[in-house]
């Protein structure tokens, strides 16, 4: 089993958010990658895209299926992980670390506090 970092926040759509200053790093959870299976393709936005909470900003594809990724927060994309284009399987091996998806400059940093804690998320997924 993977550990869910205590300093991350989590969504019901199985994303994690880590905040430093006014910037959030967003990824998918260990549980999400396990449910998806082998991840073979990641489609991420270019910097500058403005997002409201719940907007779709990209997709993650396993061998069998396409899953949209929803922004857990509002703000502007300021970076996307360039390594995932050539190594999408990193999302299976290190979803909480190396395989972060995007960085978002937060419109309202307090929004993150509404998301689940590590403990709440693990209760949510029943692990």
Write out the residues near another protein by the rule CB under 8 A.
Answer: 37-38, 40-41, 43, 59, 61-64, 66, 85
Rounded Cα distance, 52 and 123, in Å: 27
Rounded Cα distance, 63 and 9, in Å: 28
- For residue 15 the two structure tokens come to 């994303």
> For another protein, which is the closer residue by CB, 40 or 118?
40
Rounded Cα distance, 118 and 26, in Å: 14
- For residue 86 the two structure tokens come to 């050539």
Q: How far is the CB of 8 from another protein (least distance, A)?
A: 25
Q: How far is the CB of 2 from another protein (least distance, A)?
A: 16
> For another protein, which is the closer residue by CB, 67 or 117?
67
> For another protein, which is the closer residue by CB, 20 or 86?
86
């Amino acid at each position: 089993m993977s550990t869910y970092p205590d300093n991350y926040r989590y969504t019901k759509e199985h994303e994690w958010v880590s905040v430093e200053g006014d910037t959030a790093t967003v990824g998918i959870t260990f549980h999400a990658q396990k449910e998806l299976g082998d991840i073979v393709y990641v489609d991420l936005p270019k910097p500058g895209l403005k997002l409201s909470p719940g907007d779709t900003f990209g997709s993650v594809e396993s061998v069998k299926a396409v899953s949209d990724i929803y922004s857990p927060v509002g703000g502007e994309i300021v970076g996307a992980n360039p390594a995932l284009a050539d190594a999408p399987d990193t999302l299976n091996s290190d979803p909480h670390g190396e395989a972060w998806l995007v960085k978002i400059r937060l419109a309202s940093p307090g929004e993150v506090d509404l998301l689940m804690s590590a403990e709440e998320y693990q209760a949510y997924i029943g692990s």
